[in-house]
Amino acid sequence: MGKMMPIGPLMIEHRLIERMIAVGRKELERFWREKKINPAFVMELVDFFRLYADRCHHGKEEDILFRELAKKPLSEEHRKIVEELLQEHQWARQQTREMVEATERYTQGQEDAYLKVNARLNALVEFYPRHIAKEDKRFFLPVMRYFSREEKDAMLREGIDFDSTLIHEKYKAVVAQAESKVS
pLDDT of 137 strictly over 80: yes
How do residues 6-61 score in pLDDT, each as one tens digit? 667 888 899 999 999 999 999 999 999 998 899 999 999 999 999 999 999 999 99
Which range (131-135, 141-145, 169-173) has the least confidence? 169-173
Rounded to the nearest angstrom, the gap between the alpha carbon of residue 107 and the centroid of all alpha carbons in its chain is 25
How do residues 67-105 score in pLDDT, each as one tens digit? 999 999 999 999 999 999 999 999 999 999 999 999 999
* DSSP, residue by residue, 101-164: HHHHHHHTT-TTHHHHHHHHHHHHHHHHHHHHHIIIIIIHHHHGGGS-HHHHHHHHHHHHHHHH
pTM greater than 0.85 (yes/no)? yes
- Residue spans of the domains in the chain: they are 7-182
Which one is the CATH code of 7-182: 3.40.190.10, 1.10.3720.10, 1.20.120.520, 3.40.50.1820? Answer: 1.20.120.520
State the pLDDT at residue 6. Answer: 61
pLDDT of 4 strictly over 70: no
State the pLDDT at residue 3. Answer: 46
Q: Give CA–CA dist 104/98, Å, rounded.
A: 10
